[in-house]
Structure 1
Amino acid sequence: MNRFIAGGLVLAAELLASTAQALPADSQPTKPTVVLVHGAFADSSSWNGVITILERDGYKVVAAPNPLRGVRADADVIADVVRGIDGPVVLVGHSYGGSVISEAAEGRPNVKALVFVAAFAPEAGETALGLTGKFPGSTLGPTLAPPVKLTSGGNDLYILQARFHDQFAADVPAAEARLMAAGQRPIAEAALSEASTEPAWRSTPSWFIYGDKDKNIPPAAMGFMAERAKSRQTVVVKGASHVVMVSHAPEVASLIERAATAR
């Protein structure tokens, strides 16, 4: 090859390389923002381990507030959060938060994936309470404290602090479970009986992860919902409790990242 042609090719390659390095960051593919939605008897701190991993891996994360007042009202809050985010979103819900994300994602074109973490994925007309009783295995009822009557009407539900560790977070260290029990967020009793409407999992790709020792939602119920939603991947964590995102944060974060990078 003529040495002048060869030299020109080398120079062109160097120019292309330097141009690629100089491209602004916003011209590169954007990672989705991960929006995490906690469920009943928990709060946003239950995602701390997952957040740490996702942020380390370059994801922007929002642990959204879940009022736990009712499926539609809570979904409106989460939908507002999603609406305010530029670019794609992966919506992740724990427990009752699964009902909320499926409702909130409907009609939101920037939601590219749903991840259900020990969560409900109801069909239209179904309730969290109904799905819990669809299969045997839940021991939640006897562990609930006497309902707290609200001046606005209705009741709030808590898990008895003395029963919280065994019922909700059996695979979490006792000291950590005590803090979780004291800081648990109550759910309005009516929210558990509120029927869902058209589910987003019918049109949005979904992923599922849950533990086989969950005492709140029967594992058989979660397997049923995952299969019905045509889950892209279902991970069952051996020995994990209802708070699999606390006790097995790496596995949960890994599944979220798989959903975020899926095509």
Structure 2
Amino acid sequence: MAVDSPHPTRKALRPIVLALILILSACAATTLSVSSASAAPKPTVVLVHGAFADSTGWDGVAARLSSQGYPVERFDNPLRGPAHDSALLEKKLATIKGPIVLVGHSYGGMVITNVDDPDVVANVYIAAFAPEQGEFVQGLLNPLVYPGSRLLPPALQVKVVDDPAGVAGRNVDGYIARPYFREIFAQDVSIATAADMFAHQKSAALVANLEPSGPASWKKVPGWYLVSQQDRVIPPALQRFMALRAASGHTSEVNASHASLVSRPAAVAAVIEKAATAQG
């Protein structure tokens, strides 16, 4: 009389083994996919300062981005004109591997708008000019259309400087005079901080304000814009107008002066991170 074996036959085990193999394979594939995604390098953030400032203005923002694992580069903006400055920025970008998030403050927005680089995945404008082709700084600051800018004489002064990019090696630059600097540029920072910013101020070629912008990169690159609600350099209404074109759907505001990158670095860094993570 035959007795049933208490152990399943090898033939009976085959479907179970096959099912286990499929499950393990799926788990391994999922784990590999998650690991690959988490290991994907973060985009390099390139910070571009504007007129009447230098790269030290980005210190607080850069520190926050670096702490979140973002590679951060700063561009020492010559402030000579959109075509000249963007060409130099493009040379810098060519040395960076992988995706890039470009961030421009004030006139720095003119520069990033004129950049053409396939690795740029986002433009971030911080109280910045975001021109259409043919527009220029002084034209955008039309007081009849957008009143409120206090960047006028006697606060705005001029001087002759040595400049290899200028006519006969010279140029006429504009700068903000000391008594007016904090009041116009950064009224929401301490007196000591404003004094340090003034010491780092870089003058800008006056012709840079009159040079028409080239093709706008924001027409093919996603844009983000952070409006400074208490701006005394670029009227907030003008910022909102430019943001509507260059960063539709990605515009936010902060209760800050023109120098929001110094007075509100956490808010600025948060917008940059939003642009960077949207590319993941």
TM-score (norm: length of structure 1): 0.89
Deviation of 1:64 after TM superposition, in Å, equals 1.1
Question: Structure 1: how far apart are the matches of 2:249 and 2:100?
Answer: 17
Secondary structure, counterpart of 2:157 in structure 1: coil
Secondary structure, counterpart of 2:176 in structure 1: coil
Comparing both structures, which one devotes a greater share of its residues to strand? 2
Question: Structure 2: how far apart are the matches of 1:231 and 1:32?
Answer: 22
Deviation of 1:26 after TM superposition, in Å, equals 10
Q: 1:170-215: CA deviations, max 9, x gaps?
A: 0111100011012101101111111101100111110000211100
Indicate if the aligned counterparts of 2:225 and 2:247 stay in contact, CA closer than 8 A: no
Question: Structure 2: how far apart are the matches of 1:150 and 1:190?
Answer: 13
Residues 108-257 of structure 1 mapped to structure 2, 5 A cutoff? 108-133=117-142, 134-151=145-162, 152-238=169-255, 240-257=256-273
- RMSD between aligned alpha carbons? 2.8
Change (3 A) 1:232 1:80: farther
Deviation of 1:142 after TM superposition, in Å, equals 2.5
Is the deviation greater in 125-134 or in 54-63? 125-134
The letter for the 1-side match of 2:201 is Q
Secondary structure, counterpart of 1:158 in structure 2: strand
Residue 276 of structure 2: aligned partner: 260
Identical columns (%): 43
Question: Structure 2: how far apart are the matches of 1:146 and 1:234?
Answer: 33
Kindly indicate whether residue 56 of structure 2 is the aligned counterpart of residue 39 of structure 1: no
Tell me which of 87, 96, 102 is aligned to 1:91. 102
Deviation of 1:228 after TM superposition, in Å, equals 1.8
Deviation of 1:30 after TM superposition, in Å, equals 1.8
Secondary structure, counterpart of 1:146 in structure 2: strand
The letter for the 1-side match of 2:73 is V
For structure 2, the 5+ residue unaligned runs are: 1-12, 163-168
Deviation of 1:141 after TM superposition, in Å, equals 0.8
Q: 1:100-124: CA deviations, max 9, x gaps?
A: 00101x2x11100000000000111
The letter for the 1-side match of 2:199 is A
The letter for the 2-side match of 1:87 is G
Question: Structure 2: how far apart are the matches of 1:55 and 1:27?
Answer: 17
Change (3 A) 1:188 1:180: same
Question: Structure 2: how far apart are the matches of 1:141 and 1:208?
Answer: 25
Indicate if the aligned counterparts of 2:157 and 2:176 stay in contact, CA closer than 8 A: no
Question: Structure 2: how far apart are the matches of 1:41 and 1:143?
Answer: 15
Largest Rg, 1 or 2? 2
The letter for the 2-side match of 1:139 is R
For structure 1, the 5+ residue unaligned runs are: none
Secondary structure, counterpart of 1:260 in structure 2: helix
